[in-house]
Each structure stands twice: as structure tokens, then as C-alpha cells.
Amino acid sequence: MTPESTRDSESRSGGADQDPRPTRRGVLLGVSLAGLGGALAGCSTAAVPYDANEAGVAPNGMAQGAMPSSGAMPSSGAMSSPGGMQSSPAPASSAQGGGMQSGGMQSAKPKKKAKPTGTVLGAASEIPVGGGKIYTAAKVVVTQPARGQYKAFSAVCTHVGCIMSAVTGGTIDCPCHGSQFKITNGAVITGPAPSPLPAKQIKVVDGNVLLL
């Protein structure tokens, strides 16, 4: 074998079996990149006073790192009102809640029973049982056929319009022509009256006879 062929075979075998270990150039390149990253990481982005020395210390003695950052300032939302009191919403007006009583409904007072209106004729005690009394001004005769039972009729005779004069013996008597009427229903007992006495409405209220 010639020397040229030997060198060719060695060069081919050397290309096929390269050393897998990193080369010196790759190691140096990695170390240079690591050093550059460390240097960049060591640099501070904080502002340095204008008249600070090489160590970043200002003449007043404050170091570069001692300067408070803008992020340390309290936000406007965290500030309390003057005097340390935090403002709170005003409570609802008590007048608004007090305007409603019992769900807005006031209990209605019971209505008093209205008294009947009419003309007071007199005391019921003045009318005798089995008799009656004539009220000439009102032209009414009131009788009490039985205790507590009161009747009232017109005191004008149905004959010629005379006013009754007496109530005796269970009858209402006319003084003009002698006509007589029953105290129970005003019917004619003795003429010449042609028709009974018209009935009137009365009511006893508080011991008085009231003409309705």
C-alpha cells in the first residue's frame, strides 16, 4: 500500500470516529456567555442620584437601594379621610321608616252609633200605664196601653179637626162632638168621627219620648 492511500484511509477513519467531547472553542464560548449574563443581572435599573459616588451613595448618606420606590406610595384608594375616619354611607333617614305605621295602615276607631234625630216630646215616665198624654204643641197624643209599650197618634180629630182634650178609661176623647178613639190603635169607638186617628212614629231614647 502506498503512503497516499494510507493517509486517505486515516483521514476517512478519523472523520467517522470523531471525539464526542466538547472542543476548547465551545467551552470558551459558553463561559463568555455566562459571564455576560451575570454582569447584566448585577446591573441595577434603579435611578442613581446625580452627585452620587461610584458606590451609588449620595452626599446625604442615602444609598441607591435606600430610595423608596414609587410602588411604596399608598394608592389613592387606601387613603382614609382626614382625622383617620373613613367615610361611610349615611344611614337611612329615620323619618322615612317612621312615616309608615303598622304597614301604612292606622287602626280605624269604631264608629259611634248615631242617635236618632227628632223632637223630644217629654219624659216617658209622665205617660201613665193604661192611659196617655196629649202634647198640644206637637198635636200628638202618646199612650201606654201596657207597661213599656208606647203608641202615638195624631191629636187632631178626624171629624172637624178639633184637638183631643183627654185620655181616660182606655179612650182618647175629643171635646167638640164627643168622638172617642182606642189608645191601642186609634180606632173610632164613638162617632161622629168617620176614621181612626193617624199613627205617628216615636221612640224612647234615654228616658225621653222622641217624635221621629
Q: Would you state the pLDDT for residue 128?
A: 94
What separation in angstroms does the CA of 202 have from each of 45, 141, 208?
114, 11, 10
Distance, CA of 193 to CA of 153 (rounded, Å): 15
Distance, CA of 187 to CA of 198 (rounded, Å): 9
Distance, CA of 141 to CA of 185 (rounded, Å): 12
Give 51's Cβ-side CA count (13 Å radius).
5
Q: Would you state the pLDDT for residue 53?
A: 63
Distance, CA of 125 to CA of 212 (rounded, Å): 19
Mean pLDDT for 181-204 is 94
Question: Does residue 148 have a pLDDT over 60?
Answer: yes
Question: Does residue 91 have a pLDDT over 60?
Answer: no
Q: Would you state the pLDDT for residue 14?
A: 46
Distance, CA of 147 to CA of 153 (rounded, Å): 18
Mean pLDDT for 135-147 is 95
Mean pLDDT for 170-196 is 95
Helix H or strand E segment including 95? helix 94-98
Distance, CA of 132 to CA of 168 (rounded, Å): 8
Q: Would you state the pLDDT for residue 191?
A: 86
Query: What pLDDT digit, counting tens, does each position of 3-27 carry?
Result: 454 455 455 544 444 555 556 666 5
User: Which band of pLDDT confidence, cut at 50, 70 and 90, is reported for residue 29?
Assistant: low
Question: Does residue 167 have a pLDDT over 80?
Answer: yes
User: Which band of pLDDT confidence, cut at 50, 70 and 90, is reported for residue 140?
Assistant: very high
User: Which band of pLDDT confidence, cut at 50, 70 and 90, is reported for residue 118?
Assistant: confident
For the chain, what's the residue count? Answer: 212
What pairing do the DSSP bridges indicate for beta strands 188-190 and 202-205? Answer: unpaired
Q: Are 142 and 151 in contact (CB under 8 A)?
A: yes
What's this model's pTM, rounded to 2 decimal places? Answer: 0.47
Query: What pLDDT digit, counting tens, does each position of 39-54 carry?
Result: 555 555 555 555 666 6
127-211 domain in CATH 3.20.20.105? Answer: no
User: Which band of pLDDT confidence, cut at 50, 70 and 90, is reported for residue 181?
Assistant: very high
Distance, CA of 193 to CA of 129 (rounded, Å): 25
Q: 3-state SS of the chain: helix, strand, coil percent to 5?
A: 25, 20, 55
Question: Does residue 184 have a pLDDT over 90?
Answer: yes
Q: Would you state the pLDDT for residue 72?
A: 43
For the chain, which residues make up each domain, given as ranges?
127-211
**Bridge partner list, 140:** 135, 154
Q: Are 193 and 174 in contact (CB under 8 A)?
A: yes
Please state, rounded to an integer, the average pLDDT across all residues of the chain: 72
Query: What pLDDT digit, counting tens, does each position of 73-89 carry?
Result: 544 444 444 444 555 55
